[in-house]
Structure 1
Amino acid sequence: MNWINNVVRPKIRSFLEKREVPENLWIKCPETGEMVFHRDLEANQWVVPNSNFHMRISGKKRLELFFDDGKFDEIETPEVMTDPLKFRDQRRYVDRLKDAKAKTDLKDSVFVAKGDVNGLAMTAAVQDFAFMGGSLGMAAGEAIIRGMETAVENKTPFIMFAASGGARMQEGILSLMQLPRTTVAVQMLRDAGLPYIVVLTNPTTGGVTASYAMLGDVHLAEPGALIGFAGQRVIEQTIREKLPEGFQRSEYLRDHGMVDMVVHRHEMKETISRLCNLLMKRDTPLPVLDTALLEKPASEAAASA
């Protein structure tokens, strides 16, 4: 074998071969079809720049954006029985749980943490839709209750970032029992005089909407989020009428009194901080004024401004 076979031909072959390009470098906007470079999307908190479409983000990433400097302490939650009903459909429930844990690096669909937001101590829980559709089971219910108990112990506001398809069918009645249990925990916050703010993200549906997600002191929602109990098609088939445009979207619910504010993801942290300071009756720092402008006549101050 000579140098042509050993060196030249392999180099020519590698030059002509099609190079593998990672599929996730460019992400398509579901609303407009626009292709966005993933680094640009990440830098913009996973909001598509032109269409303002809010992409789904993981629970831990949401908390990193929420807490100061992205630092928070995870709150340990009680252990529960893994598969109380020995449920099996096309696959065993324990296998589905194992896959979801490996995919998300979470114990269950709800992650609870505490930290500071603009200097104010807060406790927050976030549902990760990537974990079995953010479904509410025994472990998720225990996590929410433990988070609310921690808020009462530390006398902090409790923030709930909801994203769920509803109760977890694999746990049957045990899943549905988390609805009244979390409702009792919300009342515990009320009795302690602590703010409970719910942020409704896309989607928030089913039993979650019928319980703690609609029991907040203030309800915020991200733009375009799907919020409701039953699906639109089910409702249309039941009432035999065509539903209005944008039905069950956050803007529609705000206009009809179900949601207090629709808040952009970039403004969510500041909005929650301001609400908590108001509800906790804390003084918020006022902007620093330029004293030199105050000493000048009005005409000169306006000109210099």
Structure 2
Amino acid sequence: MNWITNYVRPRINSIFSRREMPENLWSKCEGCGTMLFHRELKNNLNVCTSCGHHMPIAPRARFAALFDGGAFSEVAVPAPTQDPLQFRDQKKYPDRLKAAQRKTGEKEAMLVATGEIGRTPIVAAAQDFAFMGGSMGMYVGNAIVAAAEEAVKLKRPLVLFSAAGGARMQEGILSLMQMPRTTVAVQMLREAGLPYIVVLTDPTTGGVTASYAMLGDVQIAEPGALICFAGPRVIEQTIREKLPEGFQRAEYLLDHGMLDRVTPRTEMRDELITITRMLLGLPPAVKGDLPAPGTGAEPEPDPVTPESVEAPVDESGKK
């Protein structure tokens, strides 16, 4: 035995046998702690295969699994004036927007699209909680108005997936004004006799629940979703009492008449097909005749760069 046998050979073997393992192959379930293979998790729409815990899912991935064949067309949303209040806390507001755009690959916190589910044309809008907590700013207000106008123009139902932490404080009163604006948008659908279906996901909180998120003709929620105006911690500190188990979760709201359904994400597409066709007075869909949904795999969004972000457009149409 010598140093070549004891040191050099094991060292050479370790170098050639080493295999690089990507860090993002596994995800840990926040509900049960199970380590889940990323491909298995994606195929199950970010729902834990062990305990059924619903993890966040990006709007594009949601739409890819919702629409027939994963095919949808985006609806253009007017860009509001950026940083109208010149707001700054620890960072400037434009810097926070750019950081969120780099993180999510999206321009803002809501995506609006048109397509078909079970051969039934709809307009859909979905919030992205990863974009500044899905906060409701002027862009989100514009997106909901654009979605309602598109639904009225095409005479289609509007399906909205909410996920928000409330109003965007960096836009102050302008953010709060989106509550009445979105309420008017919902009224446009009512006057046109078009269904408005809301799917509440985790979390849906703050001013969102005081406006468009709770005005649906049908209110559906994903299991375990937190749905409230003020959070449980704030209420407990205010009233100084322990709240009931599961307070303000989807199942609790269903038991107390605030929701119509609590439906798992993997069954949501079939549920929405049934409800939209029923509200439109169409015959039930024939299961064997329905086109296949998308794979649920999230398409790669175009990278958001300073050049790709549209210049703000004011009310007069000038950039």
**TM-score by shorter chain over 0.5:** yes
Report deviation, 1:287.
6.8
The total of aligned residue pairs comes to: 282
Q: Which secondary structure state, in structure 2, belongs to the residue aligned with residue 182 of structure 1? A: helix
- In structure 1, the partner of 2:63 is 63
Report deviation, 1:22.
2.3
- In structure 1, the partner of 2:87 is 87
Are 1:194 and 2:220 an aligned pair?
A: no
CA distance in 2, matches of 1:33, 1:105: 28
The RMSD of aligned alpha carbons is 1.9
Q: Kindly provide the CA deviation profile for residues 86-136 of structure 1, in whole angstroms up to 9, marking residues without a partner as x.
A: 100000000000111121121210100000010010000000011000000
- In structure 1, the partner of 2:235 is 235
- In structure 2, the partner of 1:207 is 207
CA distance in 1, matches of 2:142, 2:84: 15
CA distance in 2, matches of 1:20, 1:178: 49
CA distance in 2, matches of 1:272, 1:25: 32
CA distance in 2, matches of 1:204, 1:110: 14
- In structure 1, the partner of 2:224 is 224
CA distance in 1, matches of 2:215, 2:256: 17
Alignment of 1:1-305 (within 5 A): 12=12, 15=15, 20-285=20-285
CA distance in 1, matches of 2:224, 2:50: 15
Q: Kindly provide the CA deviation profile for residues 129-178 of structure 1, in whole angstroms up to 9, marking residues without a partner as x.
A: 11000000001110111001100000000000000000000000000000
CA distance in 2, matches of 1:286, 1:99: 45
Q: Kindly provide the CA deviation profile for residues 263-305 of structure 1, in whole angstroms up to 9, marking residues without a partner as x.
A: 01111011111111111111124578xxxxxxxxxxxxxxxxx
Query: TM-score if structure 2 supplies the norm length?
Result: 0.85
In structure 2, what residue type is equivalent to 1:230? A
CA distance in 1, matches of 2:24, 2:47: 16
Q: Which secondary structure state, in structure 1, belongs to the residue aligned with residue 245 of structure 2? A: coil
Q: Kindly provide the CA deviation profile for residues 217-269 of structure 1, in whole angstroms up to 9, marking residues without a partner as x.
A: 00000011111010101111212211100001101110011111000111101
Question: Which protein shows a greater Rg?
Answer: 1
CA distance in 1, matches of 2:57, 2:204: 14
CA distance in 1, matches of 2:164, 2:210: 12
In structure 1, what residue type is equivalent to 2:87? F
Q: Which moved more, 1:208-217 or 1:233-242?
A: 233-242
In structure 2, what residue type is equivalent to 1:23? E
Report deviation, 1:21.
2.8
CA distance in 2, matches of 1:257, 1:197: 16
Report deviation, 1:9.
8.1
CA distance in 2, matches of 1:47, 1:286: 27
CA distance in 2, matches of 1:44, 1:104: 21
Distance 1:267 1:163, change over 3 A: same
- In structure 2, the partner of 1:299 is none
CA distance in 1, matches of 2:213, 2:107: 21
CA distance in 2, matches of 1:285, 1:200: 24
Which runs of no fewer than 5 residues in structure 2 stay unpaired?
Answer: 289-319
CA distance in 1, matches of 2:63, 2:240: 41
Q: Relative to total residues, which structure has the larger helix share, 1 or 2?
A: 1
CA distance in 2, matches of 1:112, 1:209: 19
Residues 118, 285 of structure 2: 8 Å contact kept: no
Distance 1:49 1:13, change over 3 A: same
Query: TM-score if structure 1 supplies the norm length?
Result: 0.88
Q: Which has the higher contact order (CA 8 A, sep 6+)?
A: 2
In structure 2, what residue type is equivalent to 1:227? I
Report deviation, 1:23.
2.2
In structure 2, what residue type is equivalent to 1:138? M
Q: Kindly provide the CA deviation profile for residues 5-41 of structure 1, in whole angstroms up to 9, marking residues without a partner as x.
A: xxx9898176279654322211111111111111111
Distance 1:287 1:71, change over 3 A: closer
In structure 2, what residue type is equivalent to 1:229? F
Q: Which secondary structure state, in structure 2, belongs to the residue aligned with residue 69 of structure 1? A: coil
CA distance in 1, matches of 2:34, 2:253: 27
Report deviation, 1:50.
1.4
